[in-house]
Amino acid sequence: MAIRLGIIGFGYMGHWHLKNAPRVEGVEVVAAYDINPEKVAEAREIGLAGFDTLEDFLKSDLFNLVLVATPNDRHCELVCAALNAGKNVICEKPVAMSMAELDLMIDTAKKNNVLFTVHQNRRWDKDFRIVKALWDSGELGHVYAIHSRLHGARGAMFGWRAEPEHGGGMIYDWGVHFVDQLLFMMGFDCVKSVFCKTEKVKTPEVEDYFFLLLDLKNGAHVQMEIGTWVLKPMPRWLVLGEKGTAYVNDFTRSGGVISVDESVEPEVIVAMTTSGPTRTFAPRGKKEIVERELPDPPADLTEYYANLRDAVDGKAELIVKPEQVRAVFRVLEAAFESARTGKMIEL
Ligand SMILES: NC(=O)c1ccc[n+]([C@@H]2O[C@H](COP(=O)([O-])OP(=O)(O)OC[C@H]3O[C@@H](n4cnc5c(N)ncnc54)[C@H](O)[C@@H]3O)[C@@H](O)[C@H]2O)c1
């Protein structure tokens, strides 16, 4: 069976899916509904079936999969309406504004015996795939710490993302991707406790900066930090393993894996600070350091749409499963609670 997609919310991400979903054979976008009549008119102009009301849209049998790509506060009601109309549904991230909303969506999907998934597309980002390849290979030995950071310089949360009533704020906007990446890589049950600090640096009503410390069950920890006002960015990733350090500078493959050639006699170097010497923090001798290229795993987002097509056909399991989304949401809820109370939250 081919996938025929109907989109609710024909804004920025609606158009993203319009462009990207049909890159996969057997997937086409056929319809759109938006509360903004101009968006509906635009959909009609490009040959889609445009719907002026949700009711008419949901009655249509032109499509067998609905994408909800509206602001976050509307996800639950629209997802549930589409599920209750017997449609399979993809929801944009963050899936919900509370665990209660998410549980309602999951139950509604089960009750109607249809598929429900979330667009956690950053599982296919190149930088993440590289880190996941390193983790999967075990080549860094025991990984004792991971830094996952994103530093922007624009100081901006755009449009409704700056408004709490629409589900704005950086934890929902990007935090959900970062936590999803981590749990996808290390296991959906890997987090033991959560500490979070937030700031409203340039956006008055929602956090545009957060720092998240995740204490993992395997003894390692993860530092996540996302800020829109960090004018000297640090690497996107640092992976600290007992056999070496990997760094990925940005969303590309720029970076490396650094280890030490133990067969080379260590040079004794003393570094000077203004107030004294240090041997511990002096650099390694050049001959001791081995730096190799990062791995080059595929990072192909079309896998997401191909998986949806096959899952709708009953030929594959969903890659982004509702229970995984729930595990991620549990960490986000703990982050909000920690930011509010100043306490470390045990999961
Ligand atoms: N996965 C990603 O990489 C990614 C990237 C950006 C945004 N998003 C997510 O996509 C969703 C949409 O974000 P966006 O940037 O496209 O926003 P947007 O503001 O560009 O578009 C939202 C659209 O939804 C419409 N809309 C609002 N309320 C509606 C309702 N009740 N019924 C029907 N239509 C309604 C608006 O008119 C608008 O056209 C958000 O949940 C956001 O977090 C995901």
Tell me how far apart the alpha carbons of residues 52 and 25 are, in angstroms, rounded to a whole number: 29
Cα 227 to averaged position of ligand 1 atoms, centre (Å): 22
The mean predicted confidence, pLDDT, of the chain is 97
For the segment 295-321, the average pLDDT, to the nearest whole number, is 97
- Structural domain ending residue among the three candidates 75, 100, 119: 119
For residues 201 and 335, state if they share a domain: yes
Write down the pLDDT at residue 178.
98
Q: State the CATH number of the domain containing residue 175.
A: 3.30.360.10
Residue 275 inside a domain? The answer is no
User: In angstroms, what is the C-alpha Rg of the chain?
Assistant: 23
Cα 164 to averaged position of ligand 1 atoms, centre (Å): 15
| Residue 336 pLDDT grade (very low, low, confident, very high; cuts 50, 70, 90) | very high
Residue 219 inside a domain? The answer is yes
- Structural domain ending residue among the three candidates 75, 90, 119: 119
| Residue 268 pLDDT grade (very low, low, confident, very high; cuts 50, 70, 90) | confident
Give the model confidence (pLDDT) of 201-221 as tens digits.
999 999 999 999 999 999 999
- Structural domain ending residue among the three candidates 98, 119, 140: 119
User: Maximum Cα–Cα distance for the chain, whole Å?
Assistant: 76
CA 255 to chain centre: 21
Please tell me the residue having the least CA distance from ligand 1 atom 21: 11
Please tell me the residue having the least CA distance from ligand 1 atom 3: 121
Contact by Cβ (8 Å): 145, 222 = yes
Write down the pLDDT at residue 297.
98
Give the model confidence (pLDDT) of 27-76 as tens digits.
999 999 999 999 999 999 999 999 999 999 999 999 999 999 999 999 99
Cα 34 to averaged position of ligand 1 atoms, centre (Å): 10
Both structure tokens of 107: 């139950």
Which is it for strands 237-241 and 143-151: parallel, antiparallel or unpaired?
antiparallel
For the segment 186-200, the average pLDDT, to the nearest whole number, is 98
Give 230's Cβ-side CA count (13 Å radius): 18
Q: Residue 294 above 80 pLDDT?
A: yes
For residues 245 and 155, state if they share a domain: yes
DSSP letter (8 states) at residue 113: T
Contact by Cβ (8 Å): 94, 176 = yes
Residue type for position 205: E
For the segment 309-332, the average pLDDT, to the nearest whole number, is 97
Tell me how far apart the alpha carbons of residues 181 and 191 are, in angstroms, rounded to a whole number: 13
* Best mutation site among 13, 57, 90, 332 for ligand 1 pocket (most ligand atoms within 8 Å of CB): 13
Write down the pLDDT at residue 1.
72
Please tell me the residue having the least CA distance from ligand 1 atom 36: 9
For residues 51 and 150, state if they share a domain: no
Tell me how far apart the alpha carbons of residues 63 and 10 are, in angstroms, rounded to a whole number: 16
For the segment 107-128, the average pLDDT, to the nearest whole number, is 98
Containing structural domain, residue 194? 123-253+294-300+330-346
- Would the pTM of this model clear 0.95, i.e. be above it? yes
For residues 40 and 132, state if they share a domain: no
Cα 141 to averaged position of ligand 1 atoms, centre (Å): 41
Instruction: Kindly give the number of the ligand 1 atom that is closest to the alpha carbon of 91.
Output: 41
* Of residues 228, 222, 245, 225, the one with CA closest to residue 294: 245
Residues having CB closer than 6 A to ligand 1 are 8-13, 34-36, 39, 69-72, 74, 92-93, 119, 121, 159
Reduced to 3 states (helix: H, G, I; strand: E, B; else coil), residue 67 is strand
For residues 65 and 156, state if they share a domain: no
For residues 31 and 111, state if they share a domain: yes
Number of domains into which the chain is organized: 2
Residue 334 inside a domain? The answer is yes
For residues 100 and 127, state if they share a domain: no
